Amino acid sequence: MEYHGLKVEVKDKIALITLSRPEALNALNLEVISSFNLAVKELSQNKDIRALIITGAGKAFIAGADIKELSKMKPDAAYTFSRKGQQAFDRLEQMDIPVIAAVNGFALGGGCELAMACDMRIASTTAKFGMPEVTLGLMPGFAGTQRLTRLVGYSNAMYLMTTAETVTAEEALRLGLVQIVVEPHQLMEISFEVAGKIASNGKYAVKSVKELARKSTYTAMEFGSELESEAFAGLFDRPEADEGMQAFMEKRKPQWKS
Ligand code: CO8
């Protein structure tokens, strides 16, 4: 499949999407968003994949939506672009498998929004996060107002979105926006290591954890706990749980069949 502005690779049950539009620091235009949406759709259909990593080529992760393209838009086109981006990022968030953003450089505006639609973020010490839309007289449009507030809390999100300050990887770590900070040369190695750990665990167990953890953001505790019990019980119907527990008792590594 030919994609615009990104590359997709799959190796050892781990998929990698690399955003690559170096001339614009990987900025997201309509064409790239469409390709990204398609890539995520296709990867979602590949049931062998256990984790997805997303990164950027060159010195940026993604420097935002393409400002040159945005500058030509009227309200209708801006609305359509915003919805298309939100739909692509929702699809990403709804994948069965965990998604890791390996943030190598600037993750600004729409780039930060894409990183936030991933399940976790590993950042190199050179990464910079920020929501500079207001400096352009704009605001986040790929659900950043919604995800940032959920990730770092209302006041931290308000601070970032209204001052447009960029923060370092270390600061993002303190805010809980990032889970691990590593040296630039270790970024992909550590990201693949984390993806490999995920891939070595029970496939249905990991899928259920993601499903329930996602639901926690919009479900009352009582109802979420009930859903958890149902999902937990559902795992007992699968050979995977038998194998996992049997392997523990036999002091060996599980041999997953799924
Ligand atoms: N869009 C288009 N081109 C870009 C973008 C961008 N977001 N970012 C960088 N570029 C281009 C530059 O124009 C430049 O191209 P050229 O050489 O042709 O002039 C090239 O990439 C290299 O960039 P710089 O020379 O500026 O590189 P620096 O290292 O000096 O600076 C920065 C790097 C700080 C990242 C700087 O490029 C910058 O500030 N970029 C813009 C960041 C920004 O404001 N992002 C937010 C965009 S708005 C947004 O994301 C809204 C999301 C919701 C959209 C909803 C749809 C309606």
Give all domains of the chain, ordered by start, each with its CATH number: 6-199 (3.90.226.10), 203-249 (1.10.12)
What pLDDT is recorded for position 75? 98
What pLDDT is recorded for position 36? 98
What pLDDT is recorded for position 258? 82
What pLDDT is recorded for position 178? 98
Instruction: Using most ligand atoms within 8 A of CB, pick from 59, 67, 106, 129 the residue to mutate for ligand 1.
Output: 67
Atom of ligand 1 nearest to the CA of 78: 57
Rg (CA), the chain: 19
Atom of ligand 1 nearest to the CA of 109: 50
Task: State pLDDT tens for residues 204-218.
Answer: 999 999 999 999 988
The Cβ-side half-sphere exposure at 163, using a 13 Å CA radius, reads 11
What pLDDT is recorded for position 9? 98
Atom of ligand 1 nearest to the CA of 140: 53
H-run or E-run covering 206: helix 203-215
Which residues 6+ apart lie within 8 Å of 147 measured at CB?
Answer: 113, 116, 117
Q: How many CB atoms lie within 10 A of CB 189?
A: 12
- Mean pLDDT per 10-residue section of the chain, whose length is 258 residues: 94 97 97 98 97 98 98 98 98 98 98 98 98 98 98 98 98 98 98 98 98 94 97 97 98 94
The Cβ-side half-sphere exposure at 47, using a 13 Å CA radius, reads 2
What pLDDT is recorded for position 1? 73
In the reported structure, the alpha carbon of residue 196 is separated from the centroid of ligand 1 by a whole-number distance in angstroms of 33
For atom 11 of ligand 1, which residue has the closest CA?
Answer: 24
What pLDDT is recorded for position 35? 98
Active site residue ranges: 113, 133
